Amino acid sequence: MSKHPKYVNILLGVALLMAGCATVRPGEVGMKQTLGKLQPKVYEQGVIGYNPFFTRVIKLPTRTENLEVTLILPSKDGLNIRSEISILYRINSEKAPAVINEIGLNYEEVVILSVFRSAAADVCSRFLAKDMYTDSRANIENDIQSQMQDILSPRGFEIENVLLKSIVLPDGLAQAIENKLEAEQNAEQMNFELQREELEAKRKIIEATGIRDAQKIIESGLTERIIQWQSIEAFKSLASTPGTRLIITDGQAPLLINQEQP
């Protein structure tokens, strides 16, 4: 029985030791808060020892976080566009104490969402509704990200990206935009066909001009002696081929050749 208090003391010591340790995992940082005062030192991943009676360890994630938001966005043409948006952000580990002291643990609702709503409304009001449905979406995303970064970076947040995941346009507008895009594509295709036909016509003109010029060169080089010499060569070629030939000629050039059929 005398050994029981010893074991009890050991168990109490182990319990106190475990209660006075905190583990900071990869992708987060820890800070000690003693009697309500946050210490400026930031602890990276590992084990932190502290006095559980007077101190606690506050942890903040420094990995990239994905904040999903559904928001009604105004457009330049006065329409309201419903959109699902992802905000990719992370906390700067060096500024983690400032985030806790100045904002608190509910920083997403206090600053990130508030700044996002303001930036999104300001940027989208400069674009038409159809721009959110076309390639201009990337410009809208970049402008919102840039505006948020300018405001939140000094507060300890890095806005990595803003993604407009889905856009729900008012009834009939989406179909009207699709019809307009299809008409524009058809017009571009027609312009392409016209340009191709113009190029083909130019090619034929160049080809015909080349043939004409070649014929002129040949005609200018044909003299009576050359024609007589070519006629003699033609007679010799006909005479050397097997079979019977009937040649109608004026004595200078072969005019008709009739090969006897077997």
Kindly list the averaged pLDDT for each block of 10 residues, start to end, along the chain of length 262: 54 53 84 86 82 83 92 84 91 92 91 94 87 83 94 94 83 62 71 81 82 72 65 68 61 49 46
Beta bridge partners of 24: 46
Tokens, residue 195? 């340009």
Task: Output the pLDDT for position 148.
Answer: 95
Give residue for tokens 């932190």. 48
Contact 42, 92 (CB under 8 A): no
Output the pLDDT for position 39.
87
Nearest to 103 by CA among 146, 147, 157: 157
Q: What is the pLDDT of residue 229?
A: 67
How far apart are the C-alpha atoms of 21 and 13, rounded to whole Å? 13
- Predicted local distance difference test score (pLDDT) of residue 2: 46
pTM over 0.75: no
Q: What is the pLDDT of residue 262?
A: 46
b/e code 181-216 from CB counts within 10 Å (16+ = b):
eeeeeeeeeeeeeeeeeeeeeeeeeeeeeeeeeeee
